[in-house]
Each structure stands twice: as C-alpha cells, then as structure tokens.
C-alpha cells in the first residue's frame, strides 16, 4: 500500500509515457500512449519464440478484418487498445484473477465509446482475433497451438490466409506502424451509438 491510498478522495491512476495520469474511473485514451505501451507488451505472456508485441497483433487483426471481410479494420486495430493501460494477460490468468474481467470490460467499453466503435466487440472482429491467434500460435509457439481449443471455422479461415508473415518488430518499429495505421484509418464514419 502506498501512502496515497490512505488519503481521502484518492483516485487510482497510472502515470503514462506522455507524463499524464490515466484514471481507471474516468479513462481518457490516447493513441500515442496505446501505440507505445502495446508495442512494449509481448503476446503470450512472453512465452513465444521471439518478441511479438500486442501492437503488431492488433495490426494483424486489422489486416484480417479487411482481407477476410469480417469487420471494420479500425475495430481490429483498437480491439486490444485497453491493454495499453492494463497489460495483456493470457486467457487462463484473466479467468483466474477475480474482478480482472470487470475492469477490462469497463475500460474496453470506454475505449470503444471514445473512438466510435460498437459498444462490444463484433463477432467478425472476434473471429479475426481468433484467426490471428491461430496464425501466431503456429508461427511463434513450440506447441503451434495444436493443444488449443478452436472455435468452429477458425482454422479453416486461417488456412485461407496466404503469405502471412509475422515481423516480430522491435517496439519502436511496431509503435510507428500502429500509429501510421491509426492515422490512415481514423474512427469509422456513420456509427451511431
């Protein structure tokens, strides 16, 4: 417990790379912070053959959303944006940590609202995320994902993706590519909450 936790009116926050404060109760997201933090977070809790960032994963999901016609690529780019403020926990640990899912869903909803995305992840974006996981597992994990339980259709869609290459970029390069994609795509037009 830090000394500030005992003060009346204390609101929990994290300090951000841009020198600001990110309050969990009143979140305001920043694309540069998302790009920076997710570029530094390794997928699979770091248990992959090479460093592979959440930022690069989000770029892959955006590409799959577009290539497979599953969802708005901008949704794919931001689908894990909240992890820039929480971290990327492997699914079994997310389920095991009480209240983590509640906090994650709250931040995800706030991010989606801020960027004009549907209030909850679309089925198409979920599928693109699972296809990305299948491709990443095949290329980065010793198990190749052979021991994963796959949703129907995921492996068939993954087999349709040709010439997939995971670059395993250094964080600075991943950050730059993520920000460039964010600048090109921008928030979707015509979405009404």
Domain ranges of the chain: 12-185
Partners of 53 in beta bridges: 42
On the question of pLDDT at 5 being above 90, the answer is no
For residues 75 and 112, give the distance between their C-alpha atoms in angstroms, rounded to a whole number: 8
Quick: pLDDT tens for 156-182: 999 999 888 899 999 999 999 999 999
The values of phi and psi at residue 93, to 5°, are -75, -35
Cβ–Cβ < 8 Å for 37, 85? yes
Kindly indicate the confidence band of residue 9, based on its pLDDT and cuts at 50, 70 and 90. Answer: confident
Q: How far is residue 76 CA from its own chain's centroid?
A: 8
Quick: pLDDT tens for 23-55: 999 999 999 999 999 999 999 999 999 999 999
Q: What angle do CA 118, 95, 38 make, to 5 degrees?
A: 55
For residues 79 and 170, give the distance between their C-alpha atoms in angstroms, rounded to a whole number: 21
Q: What secondary structure does DSSP assign to 35-96, as a single string?
A: HHHHHHSBGGGG-SSS--BHHHHHHHHHHHHHHTT-S-HHHHHHTTTTHHHH----HHHHHH
Is 12-185 assigned to CATH 1.10.3210.10? Answer: yes
Report residue 15 as tokens. Answer: 């300090």
Mean pLDDT, the chain, rounded, equals 91
On the question of pLDDT at 120 being above 50, the answer is yes
On the question of pLDDT at 111 being above 50, the answer is yes
On the question of pLDDT at 4 being above 90, the answer is no
- Mean pLDDT confidence for 65-70: 96
- Mean pLDDT confidence for 106-113: 96
- Mean pLDDT confidence for 109-113: 96
Nearest to 149 by CA among 92, 65, 71: 92
Percentage of the chain modeled with pLDDT above 70: 93
Report residue 92 as tokens. Answer: 């079994």
187 Cβ partners below 8 Å, 6+ apart?
74, 115, 116, 117
96 Cβ partners below 8 Å, 6+ apart?
none
């Amino acid at each position: 417990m830090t000394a500030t936790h005992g003060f009346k009116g204390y609101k929990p926050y994290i300090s951000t790379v841009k020198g600001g404060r990110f309050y969990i109760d009143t979140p305001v997201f920043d694309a540069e912070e998302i790009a920076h933090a997710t570029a530094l977070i390794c997928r699979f809790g770091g248990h992959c053959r090479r460093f592979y960032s959440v930022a690069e994963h989000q770029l892959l999901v955006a590409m799959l959303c577009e290539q497979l016609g599953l969802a708005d690529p901008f949704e794919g780019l931001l689908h894990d944006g909240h992890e820039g403020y929480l971290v990327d926990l492997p699914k079994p640990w997310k389920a095991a940590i009480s209240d983590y899912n509640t906090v994650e869903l709250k931040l995800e909803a706030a991010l989606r609202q801020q960027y004009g995305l549907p209030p909850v992840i679309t089925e198409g974006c979920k599928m693109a995320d699972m296809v990305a996981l299948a491709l990443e597992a095949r290329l980065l994990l010793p198990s190749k994902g052979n021991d994963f339980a796959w949703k129907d259709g995921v492996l068939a869609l993954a087999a349709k993706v040709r010439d997939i290459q995971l670059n395993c970029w250094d964080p600075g390069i991943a950050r730059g590519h993520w920000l460039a994609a964010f600048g090109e795509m921008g928030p979707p037009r015509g979405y009404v909450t």
